[in-house]
Amino acid sequence: MVKAELAVKSNRKITLSSFSKELDGSGCVKIDVVSGQYTYLNSEFYFDDFVKFIEDLDIVYADLKGFAQLGLLYESSYIKIAVTSLGHMELTGEFHDYGSIQQKLYFGFQFDQSYLPKFIDSLKSMMV
């Protein structure tokens, strides 16, 4: 199984796997997040434009500014990688469950930009 993982520490990582893509660039991926003491597992995280996410990540890494975000345009759930004002990278995200009792998880952690190239390459390999 092809997967992309950004693992800073055992308690700060995100893994994307089971990638499926539609002809319009949208798709679905299994996403697992460990952030501090919290773990989030979702077998169906939908997104609009995976190629744009990867292109934006390339720009973020090259320019050390800006952000790349993956999610659906008109939905609240997302993952985002951005450069902070101090030059660090920050992975944040928000996931919503609209069941009979609505739930929301917001998470985030910082990391060094040296983690990005391997993550970007593994994301690109998911599209093949």
**What CATH number matches the domain at 3-126, 3.30.2450, 2.30.31, 1.10.3470, 2.20.230?**
2.30.31
**pLDDT of residue 83 exceeding 80:** yes
Assessment of whether the complete model's pTM goes beyond 0.85: yes
Q: Which of 23, 3, 6 is nearest to 80 (CA)?
A: 6
Residues whose CB is less than 8 angstroms from the CB of residue 84 and which lie 6 or more positions away in sequence, other chains included: 90, 110
Q: In 3-state terms, the chain is what percent helix, strand and coil (to 5)?
A: 20, 50, 25
More confident residue, 1 or 123: 123
β 27-35/38-47 pair status: antiparallel
Residue 1's pLDDT is 65
- The mean pLDDT of 18-47, rounded to a whole number, is 91
> Burial level of 16, CB count in 10 A (0-12/13-18/19+)?
buried
pLDDT in tens, 37-74: 999 998 899 999 999 999 999 999 999 999 999 999 88
pLDDT in tens, 97-120: 888 999 999 999 999 999 999 999
